[in-house]
Amino acid sequence: MRILDQYLIKQFSFVLLFSLIAFWVIFLIVDLVEHLDDYIDKHASIFLVIKYYLYFTPYILVLALPVAMLLSCLFSLGQLARHNELTAMKSAGISLHRILLPLFVFSFLISLITIVCGGAIVPITNQKMMEVKTVEIEKGRGETSLILQNIFVQGEDGRIFYLASYDTKAKMGTDILVQKFEENRLKEQIEAKKVRWKDNGWLFQDGVEMIFSDSTEKIELPTDSSRTDTSSSLVPPDKKDRTSHAMVNPSEIKEYKTFDKLFRLDLKIKPEALIRRQKKPEEMGYFELANYVKIKKRSGQLVAKEETDLNLKISFPLVNFIIVLFGAPIAANPKRSGLAIGFAISLFIAFVYYTLIRMAQSFGYSEKLPPLLAAWITNILFVILGVILLVKAKK
């Protein structure tokens, strides 16, 4: 069986490598043709375009890998079925499940490798790719916008900063919320309509400052409907869905004071930290995104989108195993072993999978489905169908 296992994996790997190269070339050509006018208008050099697509390559490969895995499964097993090699193996007393076992193990290992690479390599290359695009190709247009929106930054001393907008030239922000946490407990909160960087410190205008006591009960961050008049008056109606301010029982507030102006030198956040481009979820590793979700939760922000993306970082790479589990019984059927039929089936299955996972992702973003379920429901469906096909396949 060791010889047969090696033979089957060799056949599978050859088609997999060829499929990945083909998908990579097709994707690059399509994307290059689509954006060629932009590169010419911005006078981007050939070196910058090549650099951009080199950083883009890991993301392309991870995205195309499930389709390539399915094609490899259908083509390699289809060839064995068409040449009656599977029949010969079965005649020797080897069950179909045992024949397919090395492919299942191999595809599961690829899924694990993809999870690691997706958490370590792809976020870095995606970040580099965006830097090349916005800073070098677009001449920094993406980094020098004067008005930045919805800035969310964690300070070095456990403080969380949220600004609805920030003027990078005037160094002035609007609708700011600053919260300080110690051991997952809210200790201090500042809300203000305006803030400005002045004399190496932050000058807050028209707001409130609250210091919280060491109550034995943990502070709960309420929803929009539970805000008091004080907090809601500081945030315009169009901002309320984006920020949920922490209001507590009056007995938990040690100090409460309103102010016209409040100058703070101890916040340890400089304007440079506010103008850094906010990383997107695909530019973060799993643990970095998990920490980001935790911070946003503590400050009362909505995190359905980020939690969905966090769970997808595990669920999506596992499709490389699930798609083989689903496709192997189909490929082992001699009636469906033709190359054209295998290619058509692969495209159809891939289309259905990507459509379902994007629909579920949208439901997770809009909170119509819990983030965990939104990320895993498509995989669960394909596992169930794959097991049914495997059980019904001729042994």
How far is CA 25 from each of CA 22, 213, 278, rounded to the nearest angstrom?
A: 5, 61, 30
Measured distance CA(71)–CA(17) in Å, rounded: 11
CB atoms within 10 A of CB 338: 15
Tally the residues of the chain: 395
- Residue type present at position 375: A
Strands (E), the chain: 147-154, 159-167, 172-182, 185-198, 201-212, 253-264
In the block, which residue shows the tokens 């002045």?
A: 198
Measured distance CA(44)–CA(218) in Å, rounded: 55
Q: Read off the DSSP letter of residue 41.
A: H
pLDDT at 112: 92
pLDDT at 336: 54
User: pLDDT tens digits for 94-138?
Assistant: 888 888 889 999 999 999 999 888 778 888 888 888 888 877 887
Measured distance CA(132)–CA(394) in Å, rounded: 53
In the block, which residue shows the tokens 């895993």?
A: 376
Contact partners, residue 246, CB within 8 Å, separation at least 6: 179, 186, 189, 219, 221, 222, 299, 300
Half-sphere exposure of 37 (CA within 13 A, CB side): 1
Which of 16, 77, 9 shows the shortest CA–CA distance to 336?
77
pLDDT at 216: 39
Angle in degrees, 0-180, between the axes of helices 339-365 and 46-82, rounded to the nearest 10: 120
How far is CA 23 from each of CA 30, 133, 143, 293, rounded to the nearest angstrom?
A: 11, 22, 32, 33
Q: Read off the DSSP letter of residue 237.
A: G
Q: Say if strands 172-182 and 185-198 run parallel, antiparallel, or are unpaired.
A: antiparallel
How far is CA 263 from each of CA 79, 173, 189, 195, 198, rounded to the nearest angstrom?
A: 74, 14, 14, 9, 9
Two tokens, residue 278: 């906010």
pLDDT at 24: 93
pLDDT at 214: 64
Beta partners for 198?
201
* SS3 category, 265: coil
Measured distance CA(175)–CA(257) in Å, rounded: 18
Q: What angle do CA 82, 88, 93 make, to 5 degrees?
A: 140
* SS3 category, 122: helix
pLDDT at 234: 34
Span between the terminal Cα atoms of the chain, in Å: 17
- Residue type present at position 159: R
Task: For the chain, list residues with pLDDT below 50.
Answer: 141-145, 215-249, 251
The answer to whether residues 361 and 373 touch, using CB atoms and an 8 Å cutoff, is no
Measured distance CA(330)–CA(324) in Å, rounded: 10
pLDDT at 342: 63
pLDDT at 228: 31
